[in-house]
Amino acid sequence: MARPMTMAEKILAAHAGLDEVVPGQLIECDLDIVLANDITAPIAIKTVREINGRVFDPDRVVLVPDHYVPNKDIKSAEQAKIVRDFAREQSITHYYEVGCMGIEHALLPEQGVVGAGDLIIGADSHTCTYGALGAFSTGVGSTDAGVGMATGKAWFKVPETILFKIEGALAPGVSGKDIILHIIGLIGVDGALYQAMEFTGSAIRSLPMDERLTISNMAIEAGGKAGLIEVDDITRAYLDGRVERPSTEYHSDPDAQYCRRHRASGGIPASALQHSSGRRGSRRQDRPSGDR
């Protein structure tokens, strides 16, 4: 019988073909989606050419030129052209040309490219956004993304998981952004280094999908490897009729082991102070004189 596991551990175990995994274990996993943008893709493309010259699956590689498009100068146009030419050469299904896309981390959920239970790597630090859908999603360097594009695989060290339980009704005007800023203020910008952050509690369950995506998006601002929210009826309603591939729900076992547990109330509005997401203050507070 497999040991009790967290969401993150279950997703990694499933994609490694294992019954169970433990924190610190090194594993090789099959990937569902590999993402890159117009800054990071050119280096990843070079890596693909060095390995075998082909992507492992043109339906599972996603290229979104969203940083320097429309192009600001010749160099940025050249970056975008490398991505465009590669997408055409490789028949990439999910290539989004200017005018057909927006911010990559809003685009992939909206277009149904990512879903519950997926294992996703992206050459962008905020790839952790998709954890709000019940996926394990994490940012990697361009070289690792290139290896993923060519082989469909990546290695991971199974992370420990921190549980954040946010209970109670949200005060008027409080959003998911306030919740994650409050959490980062509590643990610090390096408070979750290479750890999965799992968000639960009645306050989290009350949030619409856009605010959940905001919370997971900012897991990296605490150094987190991933930011996960378990699937519920709000997630299912969002994914229904949208997601391209069948989804698989993974829920943490009641007796799963967490390296730390934090509890907080959803009732205190807070905002980040200049110049770090780790600095926070009540919205009722006057800004410190040094920040004027």
Q: What CATH code is assigned to 160-239+258-292?
A: 3.30.499.10
The SS3 assignment for 157 reads: strand
pLDDT tens, position by position, 180-223: 999 999 999 999 999 999 999 999 999 999 999 999 999 999 99
Least confident of 63-72, 218-227, 264-273: 264-273
Phi, psi angles (nearest 5°) of residue 271? -145, 155
Phi, psi angles (nearest 5°) of residue 262? -125, 140
Burial of 259 (0-12, 13-18, 19+ CB in 10 A): middle
At residue 280 the predicted structure's pLDDT band, cuts being 50, 70 and 90, is: low
130, two tokens: 């998709």
40, two tokens: 């990071």
What proportion of the chain, given as a percentage, has pLDDT over 70? 90
The SS3 assignment for 59 reads: coil
The SS3 assignment for 71 reads: coil
Among left, alpha and beta (phi > 0; psi -120 to 50; other), residue 69 is beta
The CB-side HSE value for 104 (13 A sphere, CA atoms) comes to 29
Scored b (16 or more CB within 10 A) or e, 158-185 reads bbbbbbbebeeebeeebbbbbbbbbbbb
Q: How far apart are CA 206 and CA 229, in angstroms?
A: 12
CATH for 1-158, options being 3.30.479.30, 3.30.499.10, 3.40.50.300, 3.30.428.10: 3.30.499.10
pLDDT mean over 79-106: 93
The residue among 233, 18, 32 whose CA lies nearest residue 117 is 32
Q: Pinpoint the residues of the chain covered by CATH 3.30.499.10.
A: 1-158, 160-239+258-292
- What pLDDT does 272 receive? 55
- What pLDDT does 290 receive? 35
pLDDT tens, position by position, 234-263: 999 999 999 999 999 999 999 999 999 999
Averaged pLDDT of the chain: 92
pLDDT tens, position by position, 100-153: 878 899 999 999 999 999 999 999 999 999 999 999 999 999 999 999 999 999
